[in-house]
Structure 1
């Protein structure tokens, strides 16, 4: 009975989200609460919710302060010299332009926001593509690749996987660093090959004229926020925060909290200015944090009520024990295409917990299932998924049709996932 109730709850969850009858925030709270009450748990449902929210607190806190930290440093102009330097370096050589596009997208995606990455990268590079007649699908492709292979501890899919399985983001991320490095080699290798192909197509060889794209002009409001004299202080602060975070010496939420405080004091010492910077980024921080806390309620109810375990037992009955060790490998292979079917909330909070619990009962560590999902599900998959706004942002900014973007870019994104999955097997992250 519990397994059936849990299955109905999960189907209802992503059905309501995909059809947009309810927002993820509302669905993640309402659906499991109704399921628990229907299963007869009564007031115990409240205890399940509190336990789930408490477990998710550090993850939500990390995300809030990560958004504030990177937002403040971007407002202060830390990325401006880097962006302008890339634009000066690429000139009119297609290979440099395409690789520069990938590098710019990779750097901008440090804040974990796909929308910001494309809003900065595409308008900055598009004039060069237009001027030289380069295929705009390539810009959409390499920007998607760079953002998709950048699954840092504070990006949305990583936070969701951590929240759903109650595993710290850094614990999931550390074994994946070599996989990401291999993925990034593929990103820039692909960018180089695409650039060379464009050089050949356009006849832009060694004798091509060199053109320098002018830096983007800042609005009056943006210029007032810039702190160019504090560029190196901000760079050192960013390096210290990220290095400490990756080392695991200090908990990520603590590091981002301290980093945010220092960034505010260094760049905007006036109280009113600090309040304005927090207000400017509060909406983005609150939206994701509220979804994460709602997800805590969902996983708290599903776990505390026993529905998750009951569903896992049903799944286990249909998976031969001798094949259990292959589950992470199979999920990794399917992870990128699954982005076309499931939005991130319904997959990470609805599907992944059941798969991870099933794997656990068969002796497979849940962390491997999380890592397998992160090699494609809304990482390499999000820039082409019709279920994410970022996809439509890409095609809108580049002027490329959605079908053309998907047809051109999906093979590269899928290849990146397959390469990282193969590397995971070779390195020993996944058993085969």
Structure 2
């Protein structure tokens, strides 16, 4: 099946991958930064008589961004399959930019009253719609521009770009917490963090406008994509889709509980904001390396070994790590403990991204990946931080996050062990 990039000369795959993932990185920076400043945002827009009530309302608004992600995944994912990857990625990026500007510039509850939280909730749902339609088209685009022997590494830039965004958000948090008094951080410091991401929006739009298209541009190719019956084709891959949903549920719980560690370190372990942000900075930085290394390994050793063995290691190490952190909270335990879990835990999901995308036909790839991803994220990512906060509150046990992470790790391990092997290197070995 011909594609636009076959006719676009010269084509620079590295530049196209960079352009796609830069946009993805900027979108995730805006989305994830909210979780880093959940305490300050809660006090700004959701004043309450209790600190717990304010934080829960703030996290509920963070979760509202997940409600519309399945809708965005379906709408923009199918749009990317029928019209093109580039238009879908441009649209999601523009929506995200408008939402982040709205949140960062909305006056506080004390200034405009009930209108403030309403505006923020609407903006968060718009962000969720945009991000729901971002991951599927971007991942499909990366797999389509990559040489078969390097698909794992190229697709690795999808999760790596998310971790780059989280690392940038944590770095901004460290700098702001070090240079601002607590009342300044609460008053406008978090707005500065959001606006830093907004400054990059024009650059991201420009980069995405230069991307070559990978969907067939001939009349015959376009007609074939227009006639695609997503439900019928997806039904033939129901087993892989079900396993992917389980793996993504496991991964998103791990991701958003990890992002919650900034709040957990401050509220539960009572460490300084600077150390809390530093833990997130180090953990997310290590996950960048882990994601790329996992992609490199998956191209050479196959997808399944890189999914199963690191996931098993995470299952074994999670509870002892939390025991250490809770009984000796400090820089050493937090940085080493979460650092080890971060780098090992990031290995399996790069291999999974490549496996799931390779297992889907091109003409449903964007829509199915986006929908499954968004449903898993909405169901489990949007509730992860609420569940952990609730568990900590009702049990009073600082080990509560470990229980939730262990459950997620078991589900992910079972599903990963059942996924098919799609790596070209393994297929060549089988044919030999």
**Fold match, TM over 0.5?**
no
Higher Cα radius of gyration: 1
More helix by share: 2
The TM-score with structure 1 as length reference comes to 0.30
